[in-house]
Structure 1
Amino acid sequence: MKFDIMRDRLLDGLNNAMRAVSSKTTIPILTGIKLDVTAEGLRLTGSDADVTIQTFIQPEEDGKQIINVEAPGSIVLQARMLHEIVRKLPTNIVEIEVTDNFQTFIRSGKSEFHLIGSDANEYPQLPELSNNEQFSIPSDLLKTVIRETVFAVATSESRPVLTGVHWQTTENELICVATDSHRLARRKVTVDNLPTGQNVVIPGKSLNELNKILDDSSTAVEIALTSQQVLFKTNEVLFFSRLLEGNYPDTSRLIPNEYKTNVTINGKLLLQAIDRASLLAREDRNNVVRFETVGDNSVEISSNSPEIGKVKEQIAVEQAEGEELKISFSAKYMMDALKAIDGQDVMIQFTGAMKPFILRSIHDDAILQLILPVRTY
């Protein structure tokens, strides 16, 4: 195996594949990255057995030669060492040559590194996924869906299925739900040619890594779901993740059908006020902020820490209907929900001081956030 490649493109590919490599793996070969070079280009594969990322670099891009292949072949090289070496090479042309017994030479300018590689045949094979259950979503929309849901997954492993986001497909609608049992985030997306009846839970960690790889463009991301794996496919990247096992709870019954108090308010102003109130709340174990309606035209945000002091602030509301209300909640949960709605005007719908309440964007019914209050009164 022998080829040369532009260093910056090799580094881009390594940066993506490295996201799947874990130093804690019990399978020694998975501490490495697999390189497959043919006349068609270079494939780089990284995996931790749960997530596998494969990136592809073409020989030519925009009429510019990226890779010259003298002899095709495959090798597995220690991932972190390869990444550090390529990052620090002196010129933008890198030559990689593999000789007998997986001896690997990496040359650039007057630098030459010698690494001992591993047999690529020992590297786990990628799963085979059929094409019949595929659908596609624009990359920028998929990033938005992940951002608006994944923050609400559970961080505790006591109920592993809650550490993922539940994806369900109905007639032309993808419904994504995350909950840690104290809050819930739901996002609905209209998708053409959607295979119905899919019901999977994708690990939150996988979606966070995928989000770092996707770009903010309208390029389609192909998605294939099976009972155990999900594949996200772009022009340059294949991203495989295992799915979480277990039945996701029926969250639809948590969402109230009728409300006693409705408040419409500027989401950005509310977020800033809660952020200020949380300066005192942060010192308290529960990080609790209070929310109280004041007549028909304002709400009061307050926080009280016995050792430090208190803060209160009134914000004008665009509309307030129904019963007067005093309620307390986690400042962090409320701020996360408002950030997901992204500074738009929000309608907050309450069913009482001790019952879950809902946040929706007044411009987009596809986003819904639910938060459980905290008992303080």
Structure 2
Amino acid sequence: MKFEIKRDRLLDGLSDVMKAVSSKTAIPILTGVKMDVSAEGVSLTGSDSDITIQTFIPAEEDGKQILQVSEGGSIVLQARVFSEIIRKLPTNEVEIEINGNFQTHIRSGKSEFHLIGLDPLDYPHLPDVQEDELFTIPADLLKTIIRETVFAVSSSETRPVLTGVHWAVKDGELVCVATDSHRLARRKTKLESVQDEEHNAVVPGRSLNELNKILDDSADPVEVVMTSQQVLFRSKNILFFSRLLEGNYPDTSRLIPSEYKTQVTVNGRALLQAIDRASLLAREERNNVVRFSANGSDEVEVSSNSPEVGKVEEQLLAEAIEGEELKISFSAKFMMDALKAIDGQDVVIQFTGAMRPFILRSALDDSILQLILPVRTY
């Protein structure tokens, strides 16, 4: 096997697949990255058996030659070492040659490295995903959906299913829900191209975070294929496989209140900044709690009190306040995460009482919903 390739393109491909490579794996060959070379281009594959990422570098793109193949073949190379070598090579021209016993020679400028490769036949095959359950979504919208939900997954392994985001496809709509049982994030999206079937899957939060790093912020379509155990996201030159989480995701629809006693409409960015300031004095061991009150005027008050440090109070002009007076306490971090997901738009907050969950929505858009459980402070 022998080929020449542009260093920057090889490095881009490696940085994508490295997101799936773990140094802590029970299968030693998975610490490597698999490289398949043909006249069409180079495929790079990285996997930790939960996530598998394959990226393809074409031999030619937009009339430019990226790759020249003298002889095709396959090899598995230690991912961290190979990636560091390519990163530090002196020129953009790289020649890679593999001799017998998987001896690998990497040359660039006057620099030459010799690596011991591994047998590609020992590398696990890509997951088998049937193509029948498919819908398409623009990459930038998929990134937005991930950003608006994945922060609310649970970080505790006591209920593994809650460490993922529940994806449900029904009636041409995708509904993504994440909850750690103290808060909930939900995002609804109308799908353009989807079959009439219903699908349910729980995608690990970690997988979605890694996918988010790889996707371009563009309107390029991403194909999503769901099976009972795997989900595949396919974009232009990338295949991203993730195993799904097992177990029944709780029915979260009954947690969302259908009526409210107090409704406050307020500028989301101004509220986020006020809570950020108030949380400076909120005691860490008290879960960073901030108080919020609406007492009949056209202003709301955001406050925090720490006996050892001091207290802060801030009045904030609301766009509208309806219903009963209210005092409630909540985690500053949870509230700030929710407001960041709604992204600076005017926010409608609906309360049903001081100890009941409350919801946040964008005043302009009904597709995003955030729910937070309050904190008892008396």
Instruction: Please give the residue correspondences for 1:209-288 in structure 2 after superposition, counting only pairs within 5 Å.
Output: 209-288=210-289
Shift of residue 192 of structure 1? 2.1
In 2, the alpha carbon distance for the partners of 1:296 and 1:254 equals 30
In 2, the alpha carbon distance for the partners of 1:285 and 1:323 equals 27
Partner of 1:183: 183
Q: Is residue 296–residue 319 contact of structure 1 (8 Å, CA) maintained in 2? A: no
Shift of residue 132 of structure 1? 1.4
Shift of residue 254 of structure 1? 0.1
Amino acid paired to 1:236: N
Amino acid paired to 2:109: G
Shift of residue 294 of structure 1? 2.9
Partner of 1:363: 364
Instruction: Please give the residue correspondences for 1:1-377 in structure 2 after superposition, counting only pairs within 5 Å.
Output: 1-195=1-195, 196-377=197-378
Structure 2: 5+ residue runs without aligned partners?
A: none
In 2, the alpha carbon distance for the partners of 1:309 and 1:330 equals 18
Amino acid paired to 1:91: T
In 1, the alpha carbon distance for the partners of 2:194 and 2:162 equals 25
Structure 1: 5+ residue runs without aligned partners?
A: none
CA deviation map 1:154-195 (0-9, x unaligned):
000000000000000111100000000000000000002324
In 2, the alpha carbon distance for the partners of 1:210 and 1:141 equals 13
Shift of residue 238 of structure 1? 0.3
Q: Is residue 283–residue 305 contact of structure 1 (8 Å, CA) maintained in 2? A: no
In 2, the alpha carbon distance for the partners of 1:191 and 1:99 equals 50
In 2, the alpha carbon distance for the partners of 1:292 and 1:115 equals 65
Calculate the TM-score normalised by the size of structure 1.
Answer: 0.99
Q: Is residue 138–residue 218 contact of structure 1 (8 Å, CA) maintained in 2? A: yes
Shift of residue 282 of structure 1? 4.5
1:280 aligned counterpart, secondary structure: coil
Q: Is residue 136–residue 223 contact of structure 1 (8 Å, CA) maintained in 2? A: yes
Q: Is residue 284–residue 305 contact of structure 1 (8 Å, CA) maintained in 2? A: no
1:279 aligned counterpart, secondary structure: coil
In 2, the alpha carbon distance for the partners of 1:149 and 1:194 equals 22
2:292 aligned counterpart, secondary structure: strand
Amino acid paired to 2:44: L
Amino acid paired to 1:164: G
CA deviation map 1:187-218 (0-9, x unaligned):
00000232431011000000000000001100
Shift of residue 295 of structure 1? 1.9
Shift of residue 86 of structure 1? 0.1
In 1, the alpha carbon distance for the partners of 2:111 and 2:241 equals 35
2:20 aligned counterpart, secondary structure: coil
1:312 aligned counterpart, secondary structure: strand
Q: Is residue 296–residue 321 contact of structure 1 (8 Å, CA) maintained in 2? A: no
In 2, the alpha carbon distance for the partners of 1:128 and 1:103 equals 31
How many correspondences in the alignment?
Answer: 377
Q: Give me the CA root mean square deviation.
A: 0.7
In 2, the alpha carbon distance for the partners of 1:165 and 1:252 equals 14
Amino acid paired to 1:64: K
In 2, the alpha carbon distance for the partners of 1:162 and 1:235 equals 31
Calculate the TM-score normalised by the size of structure 2.
Answer: 0.99
Q: Is residue 76–residue 119 contact of structure 1 (8 Å, CA) maintained in 2? A: yes
Q: Is residue 177–residue 184 contact of structure 1 (8 Å, CA) maintained in 2? A: yes
In 2, the alpha carbon distance for the partners of 1:16 and 1:302 equals 44
1:273 aligned counterpart, secondary structure: helix
In 2, the alpha carbon distance for the partners of 1:193 and 1:74 equals 37
Structure 1 residue runs of 4 or more that deviate by more than 6 Å after TM superposition? none
